[in-house]
Structure 1
Amino acid sequence: MKNASKEFLVLNTVTDYTRFCGLPAPAHPLLTLIDLEQTRRNVLPPDLPPVVQQLYTVWVKKNLKGKVHYGHQSYDFGEGVMGFMAPGQVSAFDATLDITQLSGWMLVFHPDLLRPYPLAGKIAGYGFFSYQVHEALHLSAQEENLLDGLLAVIRGEYERPIDAFSQDVLVAQLEVLLNYANRFYHRQFLTRRTAEHDLLSRFEAQVTAYFAQTGEAPLPTVQHFADALHVSPAYLGDMLRALTGQSTQQHLHHALIEKAKRLLLTTSLSINETAFQLGFEYPQYFSRLFKSKTGLTPAAFRFSAQ
């Protein structure tokens, strides 16, 4: 097995991150605020390995010329966009990346900053931390100005000497910023209706085709449809909730139950055979799901239609 340290550059602490950017040590051990214009003088080595950061990052980047790779996708930051990364995610940089005109800001914080606060549990609910970069948030001028104002408050606290209230204030302001980002993402889903409705149409077509198959097929997963549509599961789920009020799993369960009803009413398959045809390994799981969605067991549903 190859040594993982030779394949990835791992950034475990905020200090690791500032050192990687060629910047002074952070003023706070668990959080730093970076003016991206300060990083312009840095030149990325051509053999820079993929970077794994065990940190959260929130950024607004402008005028970054070239490609940043994130997972299996890449994104051009020529326009100003807001993006997010969670601990354990991997990014890589094109050797031709030009940062000579880069501007914007980046907020980097360690998970330990949040541990004493409710935000530590809540942050998993912000789907944008699992988005692929090509799903970044495009800000309006008004939204960008609002975020800059919030950032000024965070910067003021960050630059103060640390006292007993520093972490409370920083985490509270960080939560406000994330809540606004959540609002802006929801706005993006609503204002980009043409693109999102096209994605919704393609999702529905994929689901229809999947459940139109005859014979046994494995139970469909959210990941399967996200991969087929070239988006992340979180993005797909947020789009569906914004446009339909239902999660991806709820859509799949609805289609599954509708197919189950057709099989129960139009074939002589036993309940167990119906379950296997739908992809259930254990028939009792099928019966349990069917009853939770319809109020009847599969056998009672079949009998009621006679």
Structure 2
Amino acid sequence: MKQPNKEIRVLATVTDYTRFFGLPAPAHPLLTLIDLSLCRHLPRVLTPVVQQLYTVSLKRDLKGLMHYGHQSYDFSEGLLVFVGPGQVFAVSESLDTSNVSGWMLVFHPDLLLKYPLGKKIASYGFFSYELHESLHLSAKEESVLDSLLLSMKGEYEQPIDAFSQDVLISQLEVLLNYANRFYHRQFLTRRTAEHDLLSRFETLLAAYFTQDEGPSLPTVQFFADALHVSPAYLSDMLRTLTGQNTQQHIHQRLIEKAKQLLLTTNLSINETAFRLGFEYPQYFTRLFKSKTGVTPAAFRVSAN
């Protein structure tokens, strides 16, 4: 299969986005709503794209591959996909859009600047998920989102007035809150896959701390890469199933290993810190006290 052109096009504005893909000009400078059925006969654009925008899209009956990072994905089934600023994607020459349907919401980060949602949006981990971690909707959930988009469409098509942006932001926040709820449902209902991921994470975490020769401190990115998921997805899955995110799991296992070393070896506090992978012992002492309420030295004395 011929790979997409290596040149990457940067789309910085909503107008850039609609113009590049041959879509109708946006009615609002910072937001547009696209009926994907109108895209069925548009020419395919094979140039890889990096967008400085947010997109939320529900694609149905899109046949063929989309390239995302170093992988390819098949969107023949309806999936809700979230893409945040700075992410790269492209399509294959074989992509068939002749029967595509659904919708796409495209908005610029500046839309949110003066609203609390501008800060809150960072808490929605799904904007940094990989596409294979897309949201699989039930028919009822899909209907809820379709109704919300229909309401947004009605507001979007009205002439802009002093309240337009306030209303659109309110509607967008409702949409994202529903998506958050549906993702939480997905983590719970796809229990076999998610519990398998949890089991593999726990195995990796345990293996990491069985090393004797001073490993470096493990990172969330390390475990996400090893499990082939994004850091945000891993943390959200763990938080849903265990109540703790990835970093909290790492710290918990780190403190357990620290206690073992403090009680079973004659290593000094500094040597213990270095054995655990800390570059600066004071960081180890600070973390240990924050998690246990006592310093490593005080723990060793009290335990003995």
TM-score, normalization by structure 2: 0.96
Using the alignment, how far apart are the partners of 2:8 and 2:53 within structure 1? 15
Q: Deviations over 1:57-76 (max 9, x none)?
A: 00000111111122233321
- The residue type paired with residue 264 of structure 1 is L
**Structure 2: where are the runs of 5+ without partners?**
1-5
SS at structure 1 position matched to 2:42 = coil
Aligned counterpart in structure 2 of residue 79 of structure 1, from 71, 77, 80: 77
Residue equivalent to 2:131: 133
Q: CA deviation at 1:42?
A: 1.5
Q: Percent identity?
A: 74
Using the alignment, how far apart are the partners of 1:38 and 1:20 within structure 2? 15
Q: CA deviation at 1:7?
A: 2.6
Using the alignment, how far apart are the partners of 1:168 and 1:178 within structure 2? 16
Using the alignment, how far apart are the partners of 1:171 and 1:236 within structure 2? 28
Q: Does 1:267 align with 2:276?
A: no
**Structure 1: where are the runs of 5+ without partners?**
1-5
SS at structure 2 position matched to 1:120 = helix
SS at structure 1 position matched to 2:24 = coil
SS at structure 2 position matched to 1:42 = coil
**Residues 30-109 of structure 1: matches in 2 within 5 Å?**
30-45=30-45, 48-109=46-107
TM-score, normalization by structure 1: 0.96
**Residues 223-302 of structure 1: matches in 2 within 5 Å?**
223-302=221-300
Q: Deviations over 1:152-177 (max 9, x none)?
A: 11000111111111111111101000
SS at structure 2 position matched to 1:216 = coil
- The residue type paired with residue 11 of structure 2 is L
- The residue type paired with residue 265 of structure 1 is L
Residue equivalent to 2:203: 205
Using the alignment, how far apart are the partners of 1:125 and 1:80 within structure 2? 25
Residue equivalent to 2:3: none
**Residues 121-200 of structure 1: matches in 2 within 5 Å?**
121-200=119-198
Using the alignment, how far apart are the partners of 1:291 and 1:170 within structure 2? 46
Residue equivalent to 1:3: none
Task: Answer yes or no: is the 8 Å Cα contact 1:73–1:133 preserved in 2.
Answer: no
Q: Deviations over 1:117-150 (max 9, x none)?
A: 1111110110000000000000000001111111
**Residues 109-120 of structure 1: matches in 2 within 5 Å?**
109-120=107-118
Aligned length: 299
Task: Answer yes or no: is the 8 Å Cα contact 1:73–1:132 preserved in 2.
Answer: no
Q: Deviations over 1:59-113 (max 9, x none)?
A: 0001111111222333211100001111111112122111111111000011111
CA RMSD of aligned residues (A): 1.0
SS at structure 2 position matched to 1:138 = coil
Using the alignment, how far apart are the partners of 1:71 and 1:293 within structure 2? 38
- The residue type paired with residue 73 of structure 1 is Q
- The residue type paired with residue 197 of structure 1 is H
Runs (4 or more) in structure 1 with deviation over 4 Å come to: none
- The residue type paired with residue 32 of structure 1 is T
Using the alignment, how far apart are the partners of 2:206 and 2:40 within structure 1? 50
Task: Answer yes or no: is the 8 Å Cα contact 1:73–1:134 preserved in 2.
Answer: no
